[in-house]
Amino acid sequence: MANEYITDNYINIEEAAEYIGVSVITIRGWIKKKDDFPAYKVGKLWKFKKSELDEWISSGKSADV
């Protein structure tokens, strides 16, 4: 568990957008419209885990209308 935490730290919204190749505006839209989007509000900031973004995309949920 400790190694998972070290290698899968939380990233911010700009890093998440760059990581998956979309705009920050797209990420914000997904946060509002998709209940299953893996995002966490920490204070005023949104945080993401790369592994959870990968799982969400590979599940096909990113393509759901």
CB atoms within 10 A of CB 8: 13
In this structure, whether the domain defined by 2-63 belongs to CATH 3.90.700 is answered with no
Rounded to an integer, the average pLDDT of 22-31 is 96
| b/e map 14-50, b = 16+ CB within 10 Å | eebbeebeeeeeebeebbeeeeebbbeeeeeebbbbb
Higher pLDDT, 63 or 15: 15
CB atoms within 10 A of CB 62: 15
- pLDDT tens, 32-47? 998 899 999 999 999 9
Name the pTM for this structure.
0.79
